[in-house]
Structure 1
Amino acid sequence: MYVMALNKQFIDGEWRDGKSATVYEMTNPYNNQVIDRVKLANKEDIDEAYRAAQRAQAEWAKVPAEEKRRIILKAADILERRQKEAIDFLVKETGSTVIKSTMEVQATIDLIKETANWPDKVGVGQVFPSADPTKENLVFREPAGVVGIISPWNWPLFLSVRAVAPAVAVGDAVVLKPDLQSQITGGFLIAEIYEEAGLPKGVLNVITADIPEIGDAFIEHPIPRIISFTGSTAVGRHIGEVAGRNLKRVALELGGNSPLVILEDADLDAAVDAAIFGKYIHQGQICMITNRILVHRKHYDEFVKRFVERAKQIPYGDPADPNVIIGPIINERQIEKILGFVELGKSEGAKLVLEGQRIGNVLTPFVFADVKNDSQLAQSEIFGPVATIIPFDTDEEGIRLANETEYGLSAAVFTKDLEHGIDIARRLESGMAHVNDQTVNITPETPFGGEKFSGLGRYGGEFAFEEFTTVKWVSVQKERRQFPF
C-alpha cells in the first residue's frame, strides 16, 4: 500500500510542513467536521517550489517521449485503481455528491489518458514554405518552461489536472496551488498519484497558502512563464494585470452566466430534463452551470410548471448517500451570498414560484419566474441552486437576451431543427454552445474556454497543447546567401 501524506506540502519530491505559522483546518462542508490540518506554505516555500521546478524542467524536457508516456498512463491507471478513494475525498472535502464525484474522477482519468500521446508532438519540426528557394523554414513546438497553476474548489481534481496533465505531458514543470478548501483532491492527491507513477522529483510541486500572507508572490515570481487560473472574473482580472506587468502568458477560465435557450419547436420533455440537470448538478456550483433559462412564450407556462414539479422532487442531504443530488454549499459565506440573491430577486419583483429552504448547510432548490433579463438577479453568477426563468417571443429576442451579459462561457439551445440549432449556437456569444443539451459539458479532446469576461485561452486537446508550449522558428540556409552589403 502506498504511504499517503495528504496533509503536507510537496516540494522538490519531499512531503513536508510549510514554513508559515498558519495551520489550516480542512472541514467537511456537510457536517463541519475537521478532516485534517495543514501547516501552510509561505513566500519562501513558493520560491523553493519554483526553483525546484526550474531545475527539474530542464531534465524532464530531455526524457524520451516513450518514458513520459509510460509515466502518464501509469498515473491514469493509479487514479483508476484509487477511484473510490478519490470519490470519497471529493464527497468529504467539497460536499460533492457521489454522482458528481464519479463524473469528475472519470473525466480526470480520460483527460490524463488524452495527454499520453502529446510527448511525441513536442520538438517535431513542421516545414513552412519560404519565398527563398535556398531557405527552409521549420517551426517547432517546445515546452514553455515552468507553469504556475491556481485551481478552484468546485471541481478540484479535474480543474487542477486539466492544467497539470498537459503541462507535464509537453515537458513543462509545475507548481500547483489548489484552493485551501480542496487541498487534498485539488493538490496533494494529484501529487501523490504522479509521484507513485514515477514522475521525477521537482516536475510537480504542490503548495497551499493563505493569500493575505503571500500576496501576489505566486504570480510575480520570475520563474513561471505561464500562469493558469480557474476562478472568479474579479480575481482573474487581477491575475491578468499582474501577469501582464511581468510579461507572463495567462490561461484564464473565469465566471459564467450561461443561458439555455428553449425555442418554439423544442422537445419540451427533453428541455426540462436538461434544464434540471444543468441547473442543479453540484448544487449549481459550476462555472458553466445553466444560470438563465430562456423559454419561448409558447412553452413558458408549461415549462415553469414542469420545472418546478421536478425541482421539488430532487433528493437532497448527505452527499455520501448515492441517491442524493443536492448536497451542501461549500461554506457559510457562499450560503449567505446565495440567500442574498434570493432576497434580491424578491425585491426586484421576480416571481418566486418555488421557495427553497436551508437545512443545515444544504439549500434546496429555489425557482424564480418572470425574471427581467437586465435585473441584478439575472445578470449575476449565482453559483447556487437558484433557477431564473425568462420568457421571450422570437428567436431573435432569445438570442439577444442570451447575449446580454458580460460573460460568455457556455450556452445551449433546444430545437428540433438541428441546422437552425447550429446557426443559433454559433450566434450565441460564448466559447462553447450545445444543441439539444444543457450547458455543463466537457470532453478531453475539445476546446474549453470562454469569451468576453469569461476568460482567455482554451483547455482541452490540441488547444491545451498550444497553451502549454511555445513556438520556435528555425530557418536553414541551404546555400550561401548573398547579402546587399
Structure 2
Amino acid sequence: MNQYFSLNKSYINGEWVAGETDRVYNDLNPFDDTVLANISIASKAQLDSAFESANTAQKEWAKNAELRKTVIEKAIAYFKEHQQEIVDVLVTESGSSVLKGNVEVSFVIADLEESLKMIDKVGTVKTVESAIPDKLNKVYRLPLGVIASISPFNFPLYLSMRTIAPALALGNTVVHKADLQTGISGGSVIAKAFEEAGIPAGVFSSILTDIPEIGDTMITHPHSKLISFTGSTGVGKHIGKVAGEMLKRTALELGGNNPFVVLKDADIEQAVKAAIMGKFLHQGQICMSINRIIVHEDLYEEFASKFVERAKQIPYGNPKDPSTIIGPLINHAQIDKVLGYIEEAKAEGNELLLEGQRVGNILTPFIFDNVDNASSLARREFFSPVVSLIKASTDEEAIEIANDTEYGLTSSVFTSDLAIGEEMAVLIEAGMTHVNDQTVNCLSNIPFGGMKGSGMGRFGNPWIIDEFTQAKWVSVQVKPMNYPF
C-alpha cells in the first residue's frame, strides 16, 4: 500500500491528529471498492482549533517573506521528488488515469512556482497623486488573514493547491477541507509536503471531516476572511448566500455546461481529436469537460460518424494500467444517477449514436444524437462520459445555442478562420474560450474562472492577488491643513 494512505489523520497546528468523533469514513478505491484508509472524522471543535491556530500564526507568517519563499521552494522540490508516488495516490483514490495524474501534479508544481512571483506583492506600497496640497497618499497591499479552502474530488490535489499556494505566498494562512472521497490526495499529501518543507505550526491545516459534523463552520467561523470553493453551483449559491450575509469574500468556481462549437469551415479531423480529449479525460469528471458539441449542419454527419468511431476505441479499465483513459466514476451513487439520467433521456425520445455500458464501476462513452438544446439532457452537467451532439443551421445559431445555458465556465470554437474564431470566442458567454483547442485548459498566469452560474472570482496570477489581499489607503499630511471651521 502506498505510504500516503497511512496519513489518515487531520493535520492541525503542525500535528497529525485523529478525529475526535466516533465516526469513521472508509476511503475506497473507486475502481474495485477496496478500502484504502479508515479516516476518523474530525470534530467541529477540532475545526475551531484549526482556525484559532491559523489566526494566531498569520501575522508572523505575513511578516516573513523569506520564510514563505523557502517553504514554497521546498514544497516544489517535494512534489518533484515524490511525483510518481503522488500520481499513484491519485490513480488509486480518485480513479485518475496515469496520464491525468501526471498532468495534475504538473499543474500543482506550476502553480507553486507561479506563487513565488507573488510573495513580494504583499506589503507593497503604491503612491497615488493627491489633489489635496501637501498630502501623501499611499496604498498598501495587505493579506486578508485566514482563508477557508474547500476542494472537490475530481482534481483533488490541483484544485486544492490553486487556492493554497497563492494564499500562503500572499501572507495568508489556510484552513483546508478536502472532499473525504479524496481526503488523502486532496488533503494529506499537501499537508505532508508542507510539513516536510518546514511550514510553521498553524499556517496550514488540513481537516478531514464532513458537513454533518461541521455544518457551515468553514464559512461562518469568525476567522475565515474568504471562502474559496470549487464544486457544484447549488452548493456555491449556498456558500455565497451565507458568506454574503456576513459580508465575507468568496472565490467560487462552480458547474459548467461547456459547449464545443464546430463552425462551417472547421477542420473536422482536428475537431474530432480535440473533442475526444476534452470530453473523455478523467471520464468527463472535470468542471471544464465538454458537455455539448454543437456542429454546423453541413459538417454534422461526418463529424458525428468520426467522433463515434474514435470514442469506441478509447481504452477503458483499471486506471493503474498506463494505457487506460477511461476509468471508474467516483462512487456508486454517481453511477446510478448518471444511468438514471440516461434512461430519462431515452424515454423522452433522445436517440443514441453510441450506447455505452457499465463495466464494474466504469461507464463507457454514451453519445446522444441531434439533441434539442432545450431538453433536460442538454441542460444538465453530466460529469461522466455522456455527451450531446447538437446541430446548428448557421455559425451564428451555433453561438446562440452555446450561450443558451445558465452556466458559463469554458468553451471552444473550431474554425479555419482564426480572426472569425476569435470574434466568436468573445461572443460566447463563458469565462474562457479556446479557438481550435478543447475546453480543458489551465495555466497559472491566466484569469481562470466562470461567468453566470459558473461562479465568481478569478484564479491565476496576477488576478488572484486582488482576490486574496486587501488594499489599504494611508495618507500623510506633511504640512498642517487649514480647516474651514
* TM-score, structure 2 normalization: 0.98
CA distance in 1, matches of 2:206, 2:108: 18
The aligned amino acid for 1:32 is: D
- The equivalent of 1:224 in structure 2 is 224
How has the CA–CA distance of structure 1 residues 104 and 229 changed in structure 2, closer, same or farther, with 3 Å as cutoff?
same
CA distance in 2, matches of 1:257, 1:58: 41
Residue 225 of structure 1: SS of its match in structure 2? strand
Q: What is the correspondence of 1:267-286 to structure 2 with a 5 Å cutoff?
A: 267-286=267-286
The aligned amino acid for 1:118 is: M
**308-317 or 415-424: bigger deviation:** 415-424
Cα deviation 1:253-289 (Å, max 9, x = unaligned): 0000000100001111110000000110000000110
The aligned amino acid for 1:123 is: G
Residue 10 of structure 1: SS of its match in structure 2? strand
- The equivalent of 1:19 in structure 2 is 20
CA distance in 2, matches of 1:73, 1:414: 39
Q: What is the correspondence of 1:315-330 to structure 2 with a 5 Å cutoff?
A: 315-330=315-330
CA distance in 2, matches of 1:303, 1:129: 58
- The equivalent of 1:238 in structure 2 is 238
How has the CA–CA distance of structure 1 residues 39 and 311 changed in structure 2, closer, same or farther, with 3 Å as cutoff?
same
The aligned amino acid for 1:36 is: A
Q: Is the 8 A contact 1:69 1:117 kept in 2?
A: no
Shift of 1:5: 5.3
Q: CA RMSD in A?
A: 1.1
**256-265 or 391-400: bigger deviation:** 391-400
Residue 462 of structure 2: SS of its match in structure 1? helix
- The equivalent of 1:180 in structure 2 is 180
Cα deviation 1:415-446 (Å, max 9, x = unaligned): 11111111101110001111001111001111
Q: What is the correspondence of 1:182-331 to structure 2 with a 5 Å cutoff?
A: 182-331=182-331
Residue 224 of structure 2: SS of its match in structure 1? coil
* TM-score, structure 1 normalization: 0.98
CA distance in 2, matches of 1:321, 1:140: 52
- The equivalent of 1:160 in structure 2 is 160
- The equivalent of 2:342 in structure 1 is 342
Q: Is the 8 A contact 2:218 2:227 kept in 1?
A: no
Shift of 1:148: 0.5
Shift of 1:248: 1.0
**401-410 or 71-80: bigger deviation:** 71-80
- The equivalent of 1:414 in structure 2 is 414
Q: What is the correspondence of 1:112-131 to structure 2 with a 5 Å cutoff?
A: 112-131=112-131
- The equivalent of 1:79 in structure 2 is 79
Unaligned runs of 5+ in 2: none
Unaligned runs of 5+ in 1: none
Cα deviation 1:67-115 (Å, max 9, x = unaligned): 3112111101110100001100001100011011110001111110100
Q: Is the 8 A contact 1:4 1:192 kept in 2?
A: no
- The equivalent of 2:373 in structure 1 is 373
Shift of 1:478: 2.0
Shift of 1:133: 3.6
The aligned amino acid for 1:227 is: I
Shift of 1:454: 0.4
- The equivalent of 1:50 in structure 2 is 51
Shift of 1:242: 1.0
Q: Is the 8 A contact 2:147 2:226 kept in 1?
A: yes
CA distance in 1, matches of 2:175, 2:67: 22
Q: Is the 8 A contact 2:27 2:36 kept in 1?
A: yes
**235-244 or 211-220: bigger deviation:** 211-220
What percent identity do the matched residue pairs reach? 53
Shift of 1:6: 1.2
Q: Is the 8 A contact 1:5 1:15 kept in 2?
A: no
